[in-house]
Amino acid sequence: MSVFVQREINKLKKMISSLGGHVEENVGKAVRAVHERDLEMARQVIESDPDIDQMEVTIEEECLKVLALHQPVAHDLRFIIAVLKVNNDLERIGDLAAGIAEQAECLSKLALGEAPYDLLGMAGKVRTMLRDSLDALMDKDAEIAQRVREADDEVDAMDRAMYPEIRAAIREKLDKMEGYIRLLRVSQNLERIADHATNIAEDVIYLAEGEIVRHTGQTNGNGNGS
């Protein structure tokens, strides 16, 4: 590996790590905004989403520049391709966090009690998946990445179990239906974040082992890896 390519690879690592940290923070804030009905925190997440979009564009441009100027091969090429794909997944997670924050905005104006499902438990598992997938990318650790894939099945199960709980809550308190439907959307967004974390983990396995595992074994809940 040339000194120039190594320098660019290190730069990309720092950039994708920074984006990942920002996205993870927004997911945490969005969930807290829902749980605590915190309007100000919800707005912070929504207002910072354009920053995530800009970071995603900058990283993509940097990847394309390295590909054009240095023509990396073998493992370096796989890493840059992985960063391009992870970059897109992180931007989508940022959008989903903003979507959760939008639900929090509305929920802050409704007289609704606790979520009828384990919102914090589900959110905690999803955030762990996201954090582990990013750690796996930095360390090129296929073992951690595989654990993320396996954890996705648990999140899918939590998402499925939430539906009857929401239906039962609506039947008992029909006047709270709008709030419960918004909590349903929060759960759906969390499940999609887990899907994207799984995508990142699968890209890490390809980076570390050269094996494409998407569509094999555990899936990311929708069967198509997206």
User: Which ranges of 71-172 would DSSP assign to H, the alpha helix?
Assistant: 74-107, 119-139, 142-172
Residues 184, 108, 190: CA angle, nearest 5 degrees: 30
Q: Which pLDDT value is given to residue 110? A: 83
Spell out the per-residue pLDDT of the chain, length 226, in tens. 578 888 999 999 999 999 999 999 999 999 999 999 999 999 999 999 999 999 999 999 999 999 998 888 888 899 999 999 999 999 999 999 999 999 999 998 887 777 767 889 999 999 999 999 999 999 999 999 999 999 999 999 998 988 888 888 888 888 888 888 999 999 999 999 999 999 999 999 998 887 777 766 544 444 444 4
Q: Which pLDDT value is given to residue 116? A: 67
**Distance (Å, whole) CA 224 – CA 167:** 28
Q: Closest by alpha carbon to 85, among 204, 224, 189, 193?
A: 204
Task: Name the DSSP letter for residue 102.
Answer: H
Q: Which pLDDT value is given to residue 221? A: 43
Where along the chain do its domains lie?
A: 3-209
Q: Which pLDDT value is given to residue 216? A: 65
Rg (CA), the chain: 19
**Distance (Å, whole) CA 145 – CA 60:** 23
* Superfamily for the 3-209 domain: Phosphate transport system protein phou homolog 2; domain 2 (1.20.58.220)
**Distance (Å, whole) CA 70 – CA 68:** 6
Q: Closest by alpha carbon to 167, among 156, 191, 183, 153?
A: 183
Q: Closest by alpha carbon to 105, among 177, 46, 184?
A: 46
